[in-house]
Chain A
């Protein structure tokens, strides 16, 4: 807490000057017997000094509902203030992160408190993706006449991580791959398989439950089903964090988060590469803990000016990517680097599905010229995506529509 001494306001100084002007006039104009006319001013000062000179003894705390909140949700923030003295007019100023939109209430409160009184003040903000920090609450007190002013800054730190919105998506790739797993979630222990493989003659020692009675009746001898362990693909999600695509970067992140959830549901292992100035690589793993780790990284991701995605992808392919992994590449394809990264992935023989949020779908054309320009840009983009389709499956996502319908359109469900 930063303590400060009460300060005299400009208003008090003005009134003092006025008082002295009147006193000097009375003295020099020989009207000294009328000096009592300054009594109203003297009484104002005496009252302010005697009863309202502040010391500001208060306790302040901030209460946030959760540390992680889904983007777009409305969050109620509470400020609890307890006074140890009588404060007729306390002004509290809250350090609301600039990027958050205030939905209800204000970041400033004017209240009066009695000794020992506790108050709860609230306001609501709409959460955005990213990390949001509240660092202080400022308290200001002015006496009723506005002659004295005291300001104190309380270091009250709170933090909320706005996690990206997630929606259910159709899996646009085959989850079968090279990784041998048993059960819906990969486990290090390989047991009996669950996927049907073939029918063969019954071998002594086979459990009765695998006997295929229909096939036995047809063949005239006892036949058994043969199972194999599940084989799952490794999924690597790559996010092009090019600064040019900053307008739709939130959508890019939402798409990635949705596909990560899909991976979790499918039981595939997944890794994440966010191509910022310094690439963020989260190694391939599986399970809920890994999912939340990836979501945390996605929450903090932001577009970057020094984007070198093609170089980063090539470097990480050589050192970290598993062979025959399924690549999900999220890019608006606005930079040459972003396009080159797709080509690099193709060159190394990976199956690539590129989810490309359309950067022009958010633009609203206001004039005929703008509309024409938008059409031209859309055509240019269509031609580019058509060229790129030889490098992988391209999902062109109009961000005004659900991601799922864009995926369904491409994989023709």
Chain B
């Protein structure tokens, strides 16, 4: 099967560059499956995020690593579907929005009164549940 490749190699190269010197780099060849299948690409992505958490590679770097990997998986899927350039632009802009959000959370954290970790966890879970509900409304194709 010959994969449709247009933009995704750029993000893959960026991911390789960023992950170099981290435990994630050794697993990066597996990420190549993202060129062929969204399912396997996402499987690798989930594992990679778990690894990033496990090795505590957080902060802007961790977020950049996860964002680049997600960009690669999504753009490979767009390549396969021969998506117009506008879609890539939307994807990149959306992912860029992650960093101001993180900066906002990070800057707000010292100001807002300290809360119980479990309470924050419950709140986040509630928000995620809400998103899942909105997305899951209606039928699934």
Contact = CB atoms under 8 A, between A and B. Distances in A.
B49 A22 contact: yes
Interface string B77-114: 11001111011001100110110011001000000000
Given A9-B141, A40-B67, A145 B91 contact: yes
A41 B70 contact: yes
Interface stretch (B3-11, B17-25, B27-35, B50-58): B50-58
Contacts of A11: 38, 77
Contacts of B84: 88-89, 110, 112
B101 A146 contact: no
B13 interface: no
A18 B46 contact: yes
A41 B50 CA distance: 14
A19 B128 contact: yes
B104 to A, nearest CB: 11
A6 interface: yes
A19 to B, nearest CB: 7
A192 to B, nearest CB: 76
A131 to B, nearest CB: 35
Interface stretch (A42-50, A242-250, A266-274, A344-352): A42-50
A40 to B, nearest CB: 5
A45 B136 CA distance: 11
A5 interface: yes
A46 B93 CA distance: 13
B42 A14 contact: yes
Contact of B136 (A16, A23, A32, A34): A16
A15 interface: yes
A22 to B, nearest CB: 5
A40 B97 CA distance: 8
Given A9-B141, A31-B53, A49 B98 contact: no
Interface string A90-112: 00000000000000000000101
Interface in A25-67: 25-27, 29, 31-49, 52
Contacts of A49: 131, 134-135
A172 to B, nearest CB: 58
A409 B132 CA distance: 80
Contacts of A72: none
Interface in A145-174: 145-147, 149
A10 interface: yes
B117 A37 contact: no
A26 B48 CA distance: 13
Nearest to B77: A146
A229 to B, nearest CB: 73
B132 A89 contact: no
B138 A5 contact: yes
Interface residues of B, number: 51
A3 interface: no
A44 B70 contact: yes
Contacts of A12: 135
Contacts of B139: 5, 7-8
A89 B98 contact: no
A66 B77 CA distance: 42
Contacts of B74: 44, 145
A10 B70 contact: no
Given A16-B135, A31-B53, A34-B56, A144 B62 contact: no
A139 B91 CA distance: 24
Find the residue from A13, A21, A22 having the highest chain B CB count within 10 A. A22
B63 interface: yes
A32 B87 CA distance: 32
Contact of B53 (A5, A10, A34): A34
Contacts of A311: none
A82 to B, nearest CB: 20
A7 B136 CA distance: 8
Contacts of B132: 16, 19-20
Contact of B124 (A6, A35, A112): A35
Given A34-B62, A145-B91, A22 B50 contact: yes
A47 B134 CA distance: 12
B115 interface: no
A404 B28 CA distance: 73
A47 B90 contact: yes
A42 to B, nearest CB: 7
A369 B63 CA distance: 72
A36 to B, nearest CB: 6
Nearest to B97: A43
B121 interface: yes
A36 B58 CA distance: 9
What 10 A-B pairs have minimum CB-CB distances, sorted nearest first?
A144-B87, A7-B139, A47-B94, A7-B141, A31-B53, A18-B46, A144-B90, A40-B67, A40-B70, A8-B140
5 contacts: A16-B136, A31-B54, A35-B124, A47-B94, A110-B84
Given A36-B58, A144-B87, 15 more contacts: A7-B140, A8-B138, A23-B124, A31-B53, A31-B56, A34-B52, A34-B62, A35-B124, A37-B49, A39-B102, A40-B66, A44-B94, A144-B91, A145-B90, A146-B77
